Chain A
Amino acid sequence: MEERIARFIAALRGAGVRISIAESQDAWQAIVCTGVMQQRVFYDVLRATLIKDSAAFATFDRLFSLYFGPDEPLIDPQADLTADERQLLQQALNELLQQLAQDLQRLLDWLLNGRPLTPQDLQRLSEQAGIEANESSSPYQVRRAARRLQQLLGWDQLQALLERLWEQLAEQGMSPQTIQHLQEQVARNQAALQQQLEQFAGQQTLEQRARMTRHPQAADLLQRPFSSLDSAAMRLLRDEVRRLANRLRSRAALRQKRGKQGRLDAKSTLRANLSYGGVPFEIRLKQRRRKPKLVVILDVSTSMRPVAEFFLRLLYELQDQVQKMRSFAFIDHLEDVTPHLTTLRVDEAVQAVLTTLPPGYYSTDLGYCLRQFEAKHLALIDSRTTFIILGDARNNFNDPALETFRNIGRRARKTIWMNPEYPAQWGTDDSDMLLYLPYCNEVHQVRNLEQLTIAIDRILL
């Protein structure tokens, strides 16, 4: 049991759930307190000590049933037979067995005597089957691995053999009812054995994966351009985003704390010093509202998607450092995506934003979108708002609506443009970047996560 729990924890880690040593220690202690006899309590104990995020419950449940799921007991098909019938079966079996290869023989033996596979058997099988680490632990893959194990056991030949066994028994004079009874029970044993194999295969693939090192080089990834990321790297980066956000948050909070110089707050000072008999002992200053208000316009056309995704993720994690944020996405027209970001969890939110405007052969038209923004949402921009545009400024030779852009910029506290292209590419072809440039307070190049982090840090300033 102990070994099984340890392997279960390793498998959870392999499936991407973060479990520290302290937590696994807690789990051990807790199990000592409650024992393992009650399945339900055992489940609750492991979950309360190991899993600290409700999003990981699904993974936990899946693995739990894999490792501690009910084992279907195999039935002994011979239990209900009379002594004569039993002898008949044994005789037929013996005749048949002589013709069989060793593995098949053992399989038939298991089924007809109702014995489950021993760990040694399974170990030997998995070595032969060569279950590999890179196989994912999806139900489909697990079934495939289990299927390979079955093939090794000679499952396919088995059906034919059983048919022959029944025929032989009938010839030797066993009654049809008994044969049918025997058939049913063997079929049930077959199912149980299959389940055992599946469980084993699932555990194997997971453990192999847990043994592999998980984080290649997060630092390298930070500097890889978004456009060159494959889906595995994207996944790693998504994990990295949270760490980055934490760093940004503490930086921003520190700045806020240190930057507490401002004008004297007479009211608050008086109140604070009442306890000193009105002698101004402690000076209170007016705290400047430092958290920024943001209005963000995101280009979510195909080329911009990864950048937009990570931008959203970072800002989502940093929501507590932002006073207010309104977000819009555009390709050929503008959509308000604020509701998604405020009501959903981060993964769903990002997904929802990106699917509001599905990618395709749209003609990006920032000019039109800016006008739309001016007509409907201009009131959002005031002297405390930072206006951010995330886009490559490739406008398909449409009207860039410079006057509108300038208008918006004049109302805002700051206008910041983030562009994933190299400065040398600005202004080439249909890029209007150089036209917009004079009206921006800051322009950042954001090709990779590191640059994006720096740019967002500037926003929080």
Chain B
Amino acid sequence: MFDTVQEVRRALAAQQYIATDEIATVIFLATRLGKPILAEGPAGVGKTELSKAWAAVTGHQLVRLQCYEGLDESKALYEWEYAKQMLYTQLLRDKLSALLADAQSLTEAADRLAAEEDVFFSERFLLPRPLLQAINSDTPTVLLIDEIDRADAEFEAFLLEVLSDFQVSIPELGTIVARHRPTVFLTSNNTRELSEALKRRCLYLYIGYPDIQEELEIVRLKVPDLAPQLARQAVEAVQALRQLDLKKNPSVSETLDWARALVALNATSLDQKTLETTLTILLKYETDMARARRAFKLGGGSDNGRTHR
């Protein structure tokens, strides 16, 4: 439905997502080739946000699967609703005894029961989890598999079938094939290496920290109330912080939080005091704070953000 990379880019921009050429190209390819996207990069650069924006662009439902250690099929794919099955068995007891009443032998009774078995193992009693939801949905979906690197290696292997063929096997029901191929986004914070097999099936997208222009554009778009001059100072300060070899670099989402805080505080410029009081929004470690304070003080004056680039 999108003919060029530029169209993708514009559509994302309309959803307030500033996409680089690379991001737009990869998404364009994913729609053309029907391949999942594996987005990697530091935390808080907008990997998850991208899939949300894309769901908004296409108007498809977003199905999200958050991965964690110990995630297994029954949490990700489906589960039988035992309680409902039990309840139905109880309620249908009379019917069942009527059905079996005139059976001549045990074998015959068992055969008759077996003929009705499908009633209890049908989709009626299936509790769909995110993966099945995405595959079985009547309308196209965007499937977000978040932080895949947190799940175990076995789960990764299990995902392979889903990602390459867009189908899942349920022993009692057979194979369910996707009616609409979902657009799949996998995100990873790179805490461990993913398997080659999984990577092979995906288009790879590395989202790093934006450069100063891109970040400024993002801030302007998301926090329009911030004065342009101040926005520039703030972004410069954040970019300078990222050069400092900190334990945890401030992410884009933290830049936005900070920008919103500056608006809330009615700050007019980035002076010593404002910086001092709001630095905790950007930095989450005491050692990082100390380092940042030292770095910013070295330059002196009120225009701290700029003196350290």
Binding site for B on A (CB under 8 A): 18, 20, 22-23, 26, 29-30, 33-34, 38, 40-41, 44-45, 47-49, 51-54, 57, 242, 246, 249-250, 253, 275-277, 281, 317, 319-320, 343
Flag if A33 contacts B22 (CB, 8 Å): no
A249 in contact with B29 given A41-B5, A44-B22, A52-B204 (CB within 8 Å): no
CA–CA, A275 and B82, complex, Å: 7
Residue of B33, B202, B247 touching A52 (CB-CB under 8 A): B202
Alpha-carbon distance between A34 and B6 when the two chains are bound, in angstroms: 11
Q: Check if B199 is an interface residue, CB within 8 A of chain A.
A: yes
Residues in chain B near residue A40, CB distance under 8 A: 21
- Tell me the complex Cα distance, A144–B146, Å: 48
With CB as the reference atom, state the residue of chain B lying closest to A38.
Answer: B5
CA gap between A343 and B246 in the complex, in Å: 11
Residues of A within 8 A of B21 (CB): 40-41, 44
Known: A51-B204, A52-B202, A276-B82. A30 touches B193 (CB 8 A): no
Min distance, Cβ B242 to any Cβ of chain A, angstroms:
15
Query: Taking the nearest CB of chain B, how far is it from the CB of A345, in angstroms?
Result: 9
A276 touches B204 (CB 8 A): no
* List of A residues within 8 angstroms of B215 by Cβ: none
Q: A48-B22, A48-B203, A276-B86 known; A33 and B195 CB under 8 Å?
A: no
Which residues in B have some Cβ–Cβ distance to A below 8 Å? 5, 21-22, 25-26, 28-29, 32-33, 35, 38, 40-41, 69, 82-83, 86, 152-154, 190, 192-193, 195-196, 199-206, 247
Instruction: Find the A residue at minimum CB distance from B194.
Output: A52
- Shortest distance between the CB of A170 and any CB in chain B (Å): 52
- Residues of B contacting A281 with CB < 8 Å? 82
Question: Chain A contacts of B5 at CB under 8 A?
Answer: 34, 38, 41
Q: A41-B21, A246-B195, A317-B193 are in contact. Are A54 and B40 (CB under 8 A)?
A: yes
Q: Chain B: which residue is nearest A275 at the CB level?
A: B83
* In the bound complex, CA of A276 to CA of B86 (Å): 7
Asked if A48 meets B153 with Cβ closer than 8 Å, knowing A40-B21, A320-B192, the reply is no
B197 shortest CB reach to chain A, Å: 9
Question: Looking at the complex, which one of A52, A250, A276 makes contact with B199 (CB distance below 8 Å)?
Answer: A52
Residues of A within 8 A of B200 (CB): 20, 22-23, 52
Is there contact, CB below 8 Å, between B193 and A49? no
Q: Which residues of B contact A246 (CB under 8 A)?
A: 153, 195
Nearest neighbor of B153 in chain A, beta-carbon distance: A249
Q: Would you give the shortest CB distance from A52 to chain B, in whole angstroms?
A: 4
A365 CA to B38 CA, complexed, in Å = 49
Question: What are 13 pairs between A and B in contact, CB < 8 Å?
Answer: A30-B32, A30-B33, A34-B25, A34-B29, A44-B26, A48-B26, A48-B205, A54-B40, A54-B41, A253-B154, A277-B86, A317-B193, A320-B69
- Leading 9 A-B pairs by shortest Cβ distance: A275-B83, A52-B199, A44-B25, A33-B32, A52-B204, A48-B26, A54-B206, A44-B22, A48-B203
For the complex formed, measure the closest distance between the CB of A112 and the CB atoms of chain B, giving whole angstroms.
41
**Cα–Cα, bound, A49→B25 (Å):** 11
A287 and chain B: residue at smallest CB distance? B70
Chain A residue at smallest Cβ distance from B198: A52
Chain A residues within 8 Å of B154, by CB: 250, 253
Output the nearest chain B residue to A320 by Cβ-Cβ distance: B192
Q: Which of B41, B82, B83, B203 contacts A49 (CB 8 A)?
A: B203
Interface pair A250/B153, CB less than 8 Å apart: yes
Q: In the assembled complex, how far is the CB of residue B257 from the closest CB belonging to chain A, in whole angstroms?
A: 24
Asked if residues A253 and B153 are in contact (CB atoms below 8 Å), the reply is yes
Look across to chain A and name the residue whose beta carbon is closest to the beta carbon of B86: A276
A49 and B29 contacting across the interface, CB-CB below 8 Å? yes
Q: Which A residue's beta carbon lies closest to that of B204?
A: A52
Complex Cα distance, B190 from A319, in Å, reads 13
Q: A47 to chain B: which residues have CB within 8 Å?
A: 22, 204
A277 to B153 CA separation, bound complex (whole angstroms): 35
> How distant is the Cα of A163 from the Cα of B309 in the complex, in angstroms?
49
Interface centre among A18, A48, A54, A250, by most chain B C-beta atoms within 10 angstroms, is: A48
A26 to B200, CA, bound (A): 10
Would A26 and B33 be within 8 Å (CB), given that A48-B205, A51-B204, A242-B193 are in contact?
yes
Q: Which of A18, A30, A319 contacts B29 (CB 8 A)?
A: A30
Known A-B contacts A54-B40, A54-B206; A48 and B29 likewise in contact (beta carbons under 8 Å): yes
Chain A contacts of B22 at CB under 8 A?
Answer: 44, 47-48
Q: How far is the CB of B204 from the nearest CB of chain A, in Å? A: 5
Contact in complex: B38, A52 (CB < 8 Å): yes
Q: In whole angstroms, what is the CA distance A317 to B194 when docked?
A: 11
Residue of A nearest to B196 (CB): A18
CB distance from B217 to the nearest CB of A (A): 18
Which of A22, A30, A317, A319: most chain B Cβ within 10 A?
A30
For A29, the chain B residues whose CB sits under 8 A away are: 33
The CA of A22 and the CA of B201, in the complex, are separated in Å by 8
Residues of B within 8 A of A48 (CB): 22, 25-26, 29, 203-205
Q: Is the CB of A34 within 8 A of B203?
A: no
Considering the chains assembled together, what is the distance between the CA atoms of A52 and B205 in angstroms? 8
Inter-chain pairs besides A30-B32, A33-B33, 10 sampled, C-beta below 8 Å: A20-B196, A22-B201, A33-B28, A47-B22, A48-B22, A49-B204, A51-B204, A246-B195, A253-B153, A275-B82
Of the candidates B29, B33, B83, B193, the one having the most CB atoms from chain A within 10 angstroms of its own CB is B29
Give the distance to chain B from A317, nearest Cβ to Cβ, in Å.
7
Residues of A near B41 (CB, < 8 A) are 54
The one of B82, B192, B203 in contact with A26, judged by C-beta atoms closer than 8 angstroms, is B203
Question: Please, how many angstroms separate the alpha-carbon atoms of A319 and B191 in the complex?
Answer: 10
Question: In whole angstroms, what is the CA distance A19 to B101 when docked?
Answer: 66
Residue numbers in A under 8 Å from B86 (CB-CB): 275-277
Docked pose: A54 CA to B25 CA in angstroms: 17
In the complex, which of the residues A33, A57, A343 contacts B247, with contact meaning CB atoms closer than 8 Å?
Answer: A343
A272 to chain B, nearest CB (A): 10
Contacts of B152 in A (CB 8 A): 253, 320
Contact residues in B for A52 (Cβ distance below 8 Å)? 38, 196, 199-200, 202, 204
CB distance from B192 to the nearest CB of A (A): 6
Contacts of B38 in A (CB 8 A): 52
For the complex, what is the distance from the CA of A389 to the CA of B199, rounded to whole Å? 36
A166 CB to closest chain B CB (Å) equals 47
Query: Closest chain B residue to A18 by CB distance?
Result: B196
Alpha-carbon distance between A160 and B243 when the two chains are bound, in angstroms: 51
B25-A26 in contact (CB<8A): no
For the complex formed, measure the closest distance between the CB of A460 and the CB atoms of chain B, giving whole angstroms. 14
With A and B bound together, what is the CA distance between A423 and B84 in angstroms? 65
Contact B192 A41 (CB under 8 A): no
A53 nearest CB across to chain B (Å): 8
Give the shortest distance, in Å, between A265 (CB) and chain B (any CB).
15
C-alpha spacing A34/B29, complex, angstroms: 8
Min Cβ gap A423→B in Å is 36
Query: Once the chains are docked, how many angstroms separate the CA of A44 from the CA of B192?
Result: 25
A47 to B22, CA, bound (A): 9
